[in-house]
A and B are shown apart, each in its own frame.
Chain A
Amino acid sequence: MSRAPSIARHAAFALLACAALSGCARLQPWVKPYERERLADPVMKLQRDGLSDKHFEHVRDVREGSRGATGVQGGGCGCN
C-alpha cells in the first residue's frame, strides 16, 4: 500500500535531479582567463608566503584546542 507514494517520490526526485543537471550543463565559466589579471595580484592571495603561514599555524596549533582546515598544505605540527 505504501509503495505508490514511494515510487512517486523517487520519480519526483529523478525529475528534479534531471532538471538540476541540465541546468548545470548550460552553466559556462563567466570569468574569462583574460579577466583574471587582478586576481593574480599578491593582495588577492589567500596564502602568500608558505614558510610564514606555517610558522603562524604552528604557534596556534600548540596553544589552541582546535586544528585543521587552515588551508596550509600538509598541516600538523609534529610536536608536543
Chain B
Amino acid sequence: MAAIRGLRRFGSLLARMLGFAGGIAAIGGAKAVDLPENRADLMFHGYDGGGVRATGPALLVRKNLVDRVSMSASYYADIVSNASIDVVTQASPYRETRNEYAVGLDYAVRDALISLATSTSREPDYRADAVSLDVSQETFGGMTSVAIGFTRAKDKVGHKDRGFFDNASHWRYRLGVTQILTPRWLASVNVEAVADDGFLGSPYRAARVFGAAVPERNPRTRSSRAVKVRTIGEIADRQSVRAEYRYYWDTWDIRSHTVEAGYARHFGEQWLADAYLRYYTQDRALFYSDNATAETLYVSRNRQLGTFTSVGLGAKLAYTWKRIPGRYEVRLHGALERSRFDFTDFTDIRTGSPYAYDANVMQVFVSATF
C-alpha cells in the first residue's frame, strides 16, 4: 500500500510538472544555453559508521522534452538500521526506511537556465516537502556564470507513539558565481543563507542535566550563513587539482571550517580516477552540553551540535564501458570514502572516554548519457 501511495504521489508530481512544461514550451525564444544532457543513473549507496547502517537504491533520469525543456525525475531510498550510541544507551535498535521522490524541470531561455524542482520525503515519523527555484545566467562572453536559488520546505515531525505533533519550516537562499580565469583554471564562490522555524530537534533524543536524562529542548528558530570558495585547475594533460574552503556560522553559535583538496586524472581513454582529502571542524552550539550543571531554557546532547573534527579520505573511479560518439555512452562508477569522527565534549557513557568512530561511505552506480 505504501508503495502504491508513493507511486500515486510521484504520478501527481509528474503531471503537475508536465503541465508546467507544456505551458512554457509554448513560449517562443531565441537561441538558448545548452540544456543538461540526457542522462540516467542507477545507484546503490551505503553508509556504515557509529552503529548506523544506511543503504538503498537511487535512480535519476533526465530527458529533453522539447528543444528548450528538460525534465528530471529521481527516487532515493535510505534503509536505516540504527544501533548508534544514542540508541544503545537510551533505547532499542530499530530499522526504518525513508523514501524520497523528486521531479524537476529545466527551461533554457537565451543565456539563462531556469530550474524548478519539487521533492517529497517520507519516513514513518517524518515528512518533508520542498519546492525550489534556481536560475543560472551566463554572462561576460560565457566566462562568468551567476546562479541564484530559493528553496521552501515544510516538514511534519512525528513520534512513533504520539503520531505527527509539530511542524518545521525552512527557507534557503543561495547565490553562486563561477568564473573562468584562464583556459585551464576556474573558480567559484557560493553563499547560502538558511532560516528554520518550528520543531528543530528529535523527540527521541535525551539530554543530560546533573547526570539525569531529560528530553532535549532546542530553540524553535535557527538562522545560518555559509560561504564556500572553490578553485580547480589543469596541472598537466587531462589531470586536475582542486581546493575548497567553506566557513559556516549560525545563530546557535556553531562555527565550522571545511577544507577539501582533490586530484583527478584520466588513465587511457576509458578510466577516470579521483582522490580527495576532506577536513571538517566545528564548535559546539551555545546550549549543547555533555552533562549540564545548570538548569537552562535550552539544552541538547545531540553530538551533531557538539565540538568535533572529522577527516575523510575518498576515491572515485569511473570506467567507460560502451561509447558510440554522438549517440550514447555508458559508464560504471565506484566511490569510497573513509572518515574518522573525534568528539571533544561527547562522552561515551559506556567507557567514560570521549566518543570517536570510523565511518565508510560507498557508492556503485551505472550512468548512461544519450
Contact = CB atoms under 8 A, between A and B. Distances in A.
Do A and B form a real pair? Answer: yes
Nearest to B189: A69
Contacts of A58: 78
A43 to B, nearest CB: 4
Interface residues of B, number: 91
Interface stretch (B22-30, B117-125, B345-353): B117-125
Contacts of A69: 174, 190-192, 226-228, 246, 248
- Helix, strand, loop or mixed for chain B's interface? strand
A31 B170 CA distance: 40
A49 B367 contact: yes
Contact of A59 (B132, B333, B361): B361
Interface stretch (B9-17, B85-93, B138-146, B206-214): B138-146
- Helix, strand, loop or mixed for chain A's interface? loop
Given A43-B240, A66-B282, A73 B149 contact: yes
Nearest to B302: A65
Interface in A65-79: 65-71, 73-76, 78-79
Interface string B194-206: 1000000010000
Interface of B: 41, 43, 45, 47, 58, 60, 74, 76, 78, 98, 100, 102, 104, 115, 117, 119, 121, 123, 125-126, 128-130, 132, 134, 140-143, 149, 151, 153, 155, 157, 170, 172, 174, 176, 178, 180-184, 186, 188, 190-194, 202, 224-228, 230, 232, 234, 238-240, 242, 246, 248, 250, 252, 254, 256, 258, 264-266, 272, 280, 282, 285, 304-305, 310, 316, 318, 333, 335, 337, 341, 361, 363, 365, 367
A45 to B, nearest CB: 8
A16 B166 CA distance: 54
A80 interface: yes
26 contacts: A29-B141, A29-B142, A31-B181, A35-B183, A37-B183, A39-B180, A41-B240, A51-B41, A52-B43, A56-B361, A64-B282, A65-B256, A67-B194, A68-B192, A68-B194, A71-B190, A73-B117, A74-B132, A75-B172, A75-B174, A75-B192, A79-B98, A79-B121, A79-B126, A80-B155, A80-B157
Contacts of A29: 140-143
Contacts of B282: 64-66
Nearest to B143: A29
